[in-house]
Amino acid sequence: MKLKNELPNVISAFEKVKEKIPAHVEWVKKAGNYKDLETRIAWDLLYITKGTTWICELYSQYNCNDDHITTLAKRALRQVYPIN
């Protein structure tokens, strides 16, 4: 995992909003605006907790792409609130 150094940071951020995740999952399900629920929730949480600037900095800092960031966010989500 290319962004493994960031995993504890993202897990910690997701833990801070853990109590709000179930309601958000239900809202997204009801809206139906997703292809993969886990990916959608992981990215939503990443935007909410870390922000766009932090996410954009990952690209240059780690020479990564969206797939790497998706893996990071989904692994953190699985630690905090498994969707499946």
pLDDT tens digit sequence for 18-61: 999 999 999 999 999 899 999 999 999 999 999 999 999 999 99
Q: What does the pLDDT read at residue 18?
A: 98
> Torsions phi, psi of 7, nearest 5?
-55, -50
pLDDT tens digit sequence for 55-73: 999 999 999 999 999 999 9
The single-letter code of the amino acid at 44 is D
